[in-house]
Amino acid sequence: MGTRKDLLNSQLTTNRQPRAALLKSSSRDRFGSSSNTARVPRVSMLVSDEYIIERVEIDERELERDPAGVQLRYNQTEPAIIRDGVDGLAVIDQGDEQYRVDFWGYAFGRLYINSEGVEEIGQKLTSNDGEIPSWILDSETVNDDDPPWWVPESVAIEPTVTCNNCTKTVSAQEGLSPRDLPPSIDGPVVCQTCWDQR
Ligand SMILES: [Zn+2]
């Protein structure tokens, strides 16, 4: 539900890292936040500053469309909310305990992080206190028999949810938990089909 996203949003406003203050105003604008009081780059929701080895300013067009590595996608579960964060990211093992992270969406860029950083991404983005995962591993980019070490074992590679209206089990990408569900639906989760037919 909204709780975890609200938490991430509040981290955006509270994680005032020294690095953010060093950024030039142009790059602050690029990662600009929706609030005048929180001029902190969106990347702080991905990984703590202390694990970042290097942050690369990159033109959006330079990001590969389908980079190598394990990809995670943000799973929008609230149809009425317009987000301005990161929609997806790829983690590319560079060897020597270094990882490249390309991320895209409203905010985009490239980071080089250490192994603690990639572990943090695995834990933070795959932990799920809501009904539906907020982030989902792209199964096409993960080897089921040899999942990346930084993804917790409990994380489903193809998670499913059950619709509280038609009781069908659907992929988590098709699950929605809108705030304004009709009271006739007995639970917080609906599938896309039921939502469209409400
Ligand atoms: Zn349904």
24 Cβ contact partners less than 8 Å away, ≥ 6 residues apart = none
- Candidate from 7-11, 116-120, 157-161, 180-184 with smallest mean pLDDT: 7-11
Q: Which tokens belong to 164?
A: 């509280």
Mean pLDDT to the nearest integer, 43-53: 86
Query: What separation in Å is there between the alpha carbon of 198 and the centre of ligand 1?
Result: 10
Percentage with pLDDT > 70 across the chain: 77
Query: What separation in Å is there between the alpha carbon of 193 and the centre of ligand 1?
Result: 6
Mean pLDDT to the nearest integer, 85-109: 92
Minimal CA–CA distance to 69: which of 113, 107, 30?
113
Angle at 85 between CA 81 and CA 90, to 5 degrees: 125
Query: What separation in Å is there between the alpha carbon of 48 and the centre of ligand 1?
Result: 38
Query: What separation in Å is there between the alpha carbon of 154 and the centre of ligand 1?
Result: 26
Residue where the block lists tokens 């394990």: 70
- Would you list the domain boundaries of the chain? 4-154, 159-198
Query: What separation in Å is there between the alpha carbon of 146 and the centre of ligand 1?
Result: 33
H-run or E-run covering 79? none
User: Where does the pLDDT of residue 93 fall: very low under 50, low under 70, confident under 90, or very high at 90 and above?
Assistant: very high
pLDDT, residue 43, reads 60
Distance CA 159, CA 132 (A): 9
User: Where does the pLDDT of residue 44 fall: very low under 50, low under 70, confident under 90, or very high at 90 and above?
Assistant: low
| Highest averaged pLDDT of the listed ranges 78-82, 89-93, 141-145, 154-158 | 89-93
pTM of the entire predicted model? 0.73
- Which residues, chain by chain, have CB under 5 Å from ion ligand 1? 163, 165-166, 191, 194
Query: What separation in Å is there between the alpha carbon of 17 and the centre of ligand 1?
Result: 43
pLDDT, residue 38, reads 32
Mean pLDDT to the nearest integer, 22-40: 36
Distances (CA, A) of 76 to 58, 90, 114, 164, 176: 25, 18, 28, 18, 8
Residue of 33 and 142 predicted with greater confidence: 142
Query: What separation in Å is there between the alpha carbon of 160 and the centre of ligand 1?
Result: 13
- Candidate from 21-30, 63-72, 177-186 with smallest mean pLDDT: 21-30
On average, the pLDDT of the chain sits at 79
